[in-house]
Chains A and B, each alone.
Chain A
């Protein structure tokens, strides 16, 4: 256990030295702030952009606070996932390529400690970054658009983070055996897009899909209550995540 913390601490030191600890949260905060600001100025931007005759009135309903927050979540689900997957695609593969993996495993260290310490660092940084981003978004939404209950933010974001954890675990898993980091990113993004797409196309058959968690979080933001399937996707996602992590942590043959 002590060695696990040593490995985990090394990950944080590395993420500090290459500034991941700063730039990843900053990007999420930036996305988080951008959404309410854009929504707030949208009517005026449209008014200025279109050459409408003088006196014509355009009605653009201001979105509700919940809608803006759900849009932020949508932004995180596209650009945010892209950033996280690209940031962590080489988490294991780059060390295997450089030979560092061997340098570490020649010491009395369990492969599972090595993997889970890395996994935990990626998860913690991502969770922190997404929470900060949602917090920033919530603050600006309240400021510009209207009051919104804080607890809903916590609940919705937590739900969404389970989906993110699932994708991060998949990234780590692929990174343990794929030679190229690029393939790791490509396959993880493919999985994310495919699951999201299939879930919206075949809602009936995809109730179990981890991507349902995004929908659940969005509906919680918009209407304040959970709509659609929740328990089923929650259980499948947790089980799948645990299974993938287990496979990643025991694939020692991939040295």
Chain B
């Protein structure tokens, strides 16, 4: 890409994505059981931007 990205503008997006990822990872270290293997969720949370943490919060956590 050869146009200038105003990083000050995009920074908040990256920060929010980072917060979501960190919370999800923090929760992963604390919960004992997840739906499906834990390492899979770690990969999903880290590598799938935004959607990864959301997916973890909605279907990854075991509610019982």
A26:B1 contact, CB within 8 angstroms: no
A19:B23 contact, CB within 8 angstroms: yes
A48:B13 contact, CB within 8 angstroms: no
Interface of A is mostly: helix
**Chain A positions within 8 Å of B5 at CB level:** 41
Q: A23-B20, A98-B64 are in contact. Are A30 and B50 (CB under 8 A)?
A: yes
B19:A83 contact, CB within 8 angstroms: no
A48:B9 contact, CB within 8 angstroms: no
B16 within 8 A of A: yes
A23:B23 contact, CB within 8 angstroms: yes
Residues 45 to 84 of chain A near chain B (Cβ within 8 Å): 47-48, 83
A33 within 8 A of B: yes
Contact with B along A21-42 (1 / 0, CB 8 A): 0110011011001100100010
Sorting the interface of chain A by its residue count into under 10, 10 to 19, 20 to 34 or 35 or more gives 20 to 34
Residues 1 to 57 of chain B near chain A (Cβ within 8 Å): 1-3, 5, 9-10, 12-13, 16-17, 19-20, 23, 27, 50, 53-54, 57
Determine the distance from Cα of A20 to Cα of B24 in the docked complex, in whole angstroms: 11
B7 to chain A, nearest CB (A): 12
A30:B2 contact, CB within 8 angstroms: no
Q: A27-B54, A144-B9 are in contact. Are A94 and B16 (CB under 8 A)?
A: no
Determine the distance from Cα of A37 to Cα of B8 in the docked complex, in whole angstroms: 12
A37:B19 contact, CB within 8 angstroms: no
B57:A23 contact, CB within 8 angstroms: yes
A46 to chain B, nearest CB (A): 11
A26:B3 contact, CB within 8 angstroms: no
A233 within 8 A of B: no
B23:A33 contact, CB within 8 angstroms: no
**Chain B positions within 8 Å of A18 at CB level:** 27, 57, 61
B13:A86 contact, CB within 8 angstroms: no
Determine the distance from Cα of A86 to Cα of B17 in the docked complex, in whole angstroms: 20
A210 within 8 A of B: no
A30:B16 contact, CB within 8 angstroms: yes
B16: contacting residue among A29, A37, A83, CB under 8 A: A29
Determine the distance from Cα of A86 to Cα of B59 in the docked complex, in whole angstroms: 9
**Chain A positions within 8 Å of B50 at CB level:** 27, 30
A90 within 8 A of B: yes
**Chain B positions within 8 Å of A33 at CB level:** 12-13, 16
Q: A19-B57, A27-B54, A37-B10 are in contact. Are A48 and B1 (CB under 8 A)?
A: yes
